[in-house]
Amino acid sequence: MKIILRKYIKKTTGPWLLLISTIISGFVITGCDSSDGDVAPKENFVKIYNNELFDITYNPLDVKQAADGSYIILSTANETDTYLLRVDEFGEFISDTTISTPYTNPLSELFLVNGDYHFFSMDNVTLSTYLLKVNLSDSNQTPELVQSFPDIIYPLHASQVPDDGFLIQSYNRDARSTALTKLAANFNQSWQAEYEVLEDVEGSIIAKFAGTGERSLPYFTGATDDGSVYFLNGFFNFSFSLLFVNGSNGDLIGTLNGLREETGISAAVHLTGDQYALSRFSFEENFILPNGAVNIQGNDFSGEIGGNEFPEIQPEAKVVVKKLDINGTNAIVYGTETKSKQMVLYIYDATDGSLINAKYFGNTNPYEFGNFALTDDGGLAIVGRTFVAGRFPRIAFFKMSQEEVNSLIQ
Amino acid sequence: MLIFTNWEKTFFPNHMKGSVAFLLSLMLIFNVKGQEMNKRTGLIKGSTYNTERSNKKKFGSFAGDGSGGGVGSTRWGFGIKGGINMTQASPDDQFSVFSYTIQPENTLAEKEYYNSSENKGFQVTFIAKYTLFNNLSISLQPTFASYKYGYENNYAWLDFENNNNSLFLFYKHEQTLNYIEAPLLLRYDILNTPIRPFVHGGGYYGRLLSALKKVDVSGQDNASGATEEFNGATSTLGVDDQYTKSQYGIIAGGGISLSVGPANFELGVDYKIGLNNIIDESNRFKDNTLISGSYDILDNMKLKNLSISMGVVFGI
């Protein structure tokens, strides 16, 4: 009986064993892609910070990563209040705080000073300027007042310069002039210079703070790599112009003039020598100059410096330009928003100004650009606001992994 | 005309009588045809029982017996079966585009998955079967399977100072996953009677052919001074990239087999348990339309599936 059984098994199971082996091998080989994927949620995610409040609005200004991997988002709430949102490394909400009077209208970005993030804001009554520190150890995120600047009225923009000091652009309503204040790294004032405005522009200034629907003009400040020249984009004479000033005392060197409020520069970053990466607006058109020569000692018209027109960019769009090192490539990254209400990043090669890639964010519901920053893992954090269900302005956070960012330059 | 006996009534609930009647009708037809064919060939005369006895001689004592002929009396069998399936999605980790800054009270932000009875799909299977021993056989069953699973969530925005201002959105998400699968099963026929219950078990490997997602949005808008209820657009998207190309798992099941002539009619139930996450995590946040349009991203999950099939296998 056993002999018969053995013969039978040998005779009949051979082809089946072969078939089963083949199938199992096939499973093993082709089943490799059935893994869960190797991208951790913290490397790549999209989050929208929602709530059930019907009539609250948010407008994010900046995002930075803290030492513990969490993110801090600086935003306005209801146009004028300061709103700080902290989320964990996966983008999940940790805490938030809304600061109304007197620390309203936060400026532009978060600055890392001695391991803590700081930001400037305005007193909504006296119109003076405050420096506040984000208190990460406080569960309520209540910021601490670091310093007051009673002489800096209507603060419009702040930036950090190569000597770790700060520039604050403001508007002196009494003297009708644009002011630039240089602060040392310890926040003591180094100097202040003013640039005469020959007509009353306070209405435009107020529109920026109140969010009344009029155009919010692209005020900004910056510096060359060596810190010898500072620049500011604001009102000068009769136009909204880009001014180049001496980094040691604020003396005016040259201008790139706009045409009233209709033509001007919307973003700029210094590359090398006389080369700048710029974007400009002319009525409802937008142009990008990723690598343009600028005569900083001249008195030129910004409408004549050329550039590539981008018809897809939203008229009056906010534009942010930064130099980033992406996987060893010196890249110039422009962030803005399109007429189709998407956020977009344009990535250029800094060496020759060629467009490498464009990356779009958002679909269906409107998105407006906020800001972007490199993250500790080599990825990119992009914030903006979206109108959830087409109507509720909420903060949107896109986290790109290092792999995705690197793929932008390939 | 078929009349259900007490025995059949015991085993088949009322809602299955139609199917059983259909199956028995087919058996009778094939039984008659089988006998006629045997008469024409002249190889084996008489009933299917004689056919089986002849095969027993041919294959010795290891071939099936007592089965009334059909596949039980031969080593190879080929056939086809089809039926419906019901899928239960089992999320391991849940994800959401929204993160709430204030704990919602009127929002169902987390997905509420439908029960399997609401997730009906279908499958068509080709059967290749080989009898190893008396009642033990092995079977490869290439299958086209279409699985469905769904879930819903909803969102609310309210003006706490003005109750007339509110918006409610209701989202229904239905996913259809089409796989080509290769289950490999070991089967044991419990009895050697014309009506043979059987059990089987094994594993399967599936290859994703396509994945579709249908999103249905409706809502109630009270912000316009009056209550406006709307049934928004239903959109269908291809979401192949959101899923891994492969899934695998184990199967257990059973049924009854009825031998008539050269044919075995089978009615069976299978339960599949997926063992791998079918979501491609690397692509979870890459679909702008899904994220920004319907605020939806897929949870990590495995599928469990119950299928009911009817078919026929011919012995060769």
- Peptide bond just before A102 cis, omega within 30 deg: yes
The residue length of chain A stands at: 410
Of the pLDDT bands very low, low, confident and very high (cuts 50, 70, 90), residue A216 is confident
Quickly state the pLDDT bin for A39 (edges 50, 70, 90).
Answer: low
Residue B11's pLDDT band, with cuts at 50, 70 and 90, is very low
> pLDDT-based confidence at B193, cuts 50/70/90?
confident
Query: Given pLDDT bands bounded at 50, 70 and 90, which one contains residue B192?
Result: confident
Cα separation of B147 and A152, whole Å? 65
Which residues does residue B108 pair with via DSSP β-bridges, in sequence order? B154
pLDDT beyond 80 at B31? no
Q: Which residue of A has its CA nearest to B157?
A: A52
Nearest CA to B257 out of B186, B316, B312, B200 is that of B312
**Mean pLDDT score of chain A, rounded to an integer?**
90
* Residue numbers in A near B245 (CB within 8 A): 30, 33-34
Q: Chain B partners of A55 at a C-beta cutoff of 8 Å?
A: 159, 165
Determine the pLDDT at residue A106: 96
A-chain CB neighbours of B170 within 8 Å are: none
Q: Which amino acid is at A24?
A: I
* Reduced DSSP (H G I as helix, E B as strand, rest coil) percent helix, strand, coil of chain A, to 5: 10, 50, 35
What's the pLDDT score for residue B288?
80
On chain B, the residues whose CB falls within 8 A of the CB of A38 are 281-282
What tens digit of pLDDT does each residue of A320-337 get? 999 999 989 999 999 999
Domain ranges of chain B: 6-315
| A363:B292 CB<8 A | yes
Contacts of B301 (CB under 8 A, 6+ apart): B89, B90, B91, B92, B277, B278, B279
Q: pLDDT band for position A19 (50/70/90)?
A: low
Which range (A15-29, A120-134, A390-404) has the least confidence? Answer: A15-29
Q: What is the mean pLDDT of residues A111-115?
A: 94
Are A23 and B280 in contact (CB < 8 Å)? no
Considering only residues B26 and B110, tell me which one the structure prediction assigns the higher pLDDT: B110
Asked if A119 and A110 touch (Cβ cutoff 8 Å), the reply is: yes
The nearest alpha carbon in chain B to A84 belongs to B101
Across residues B61-83, what is the average pLDDT?
A: 62
- Note the ipTM here: 0.88
Least confident of A356-360, B23-27, B142-146: B23-27
| Banded pLDDT at B165 (limits 50, 70, 90) | confident
Within 104-163 of B, beta carbons closer than 8 Å to A belong to 104-107, 130, 132, 138, 140, 155-160
Cβ contact B98–A13 (<8 Å): no
Q: Which helix (H) or strand (E) holds B228?
A: strand B228-238
The residues in B 69-88 lying below 8 A from A, measured between CB atoms, are: 75
Q: Give me the percent of chain A exceeding a pLDDT of 70.
A: 89
Q: Is the pLDDT of residue B69 over 90?
A: no
Please report the sign of the dihedral spanned by the C-alpha atoms of residue B291, residue A313, residue A77, residue A98.
Answer: positive
The Cα–Cα gap between B278 and A217 comes to 49
Kindly state the average pLDDT of the residues B52-73: 40
Instruction: Check if the beta carbon of residue A38 is closer than 8 Å to that of residue B284.
Output: no
Structure token pair of residue A218: 């692209």
**What is the tens place of the pLDDT at every residue in B79-136?**
999 999 999 998 999 999 999 999 998 878 789 999 999 999 999 999 999 999 888 9
Residue A21 pLDDT > 80? no
Question: Which residue in the block uniquely carries the two structure tokens 């919602």?
Answer: B104
Quote the mean pLDDT of chain B: 80
B215 or B11: which leads in pLDDT: B215
- Tell which B residues from 86 to 105 touch A, by Cβ distance under 8 Å: 95, 97-102, 104-105
- Range B6-315: architecture per CATH: Beta Barrel (2.40)
Instruction: Say which residues have a Cβ less than 8 Å from residue A383's Cβ, sequence separation at least 6.
Output: A60, A62, A63, A73, A370, A371, A372, A395, A396, A397, A398
At position B226, the amino acid (one-letter code) is A
For B56-77, b/e burial (b = at least 16 CB within 10 A) is: beebeebbbbbbbbbbbbbbeb
Does the pLDDT at position A131 exceed 60? Answer: yes
The answer, yes or no, to whether residue B58 has pLDDT greater than 90, is no
Instruction: Name the residue with higher pLDDT: B192 or A176.
Output: A176
Give the angle B285-B287-B291 at the CA atoms, nearest 5°: 70
Cβ atoms < 10 Å from Cβ of A217: 22
Instruction: Identify the band that residue A3 occupies on the pLDDT scale cut at 50, 70 and 90.
Output: low
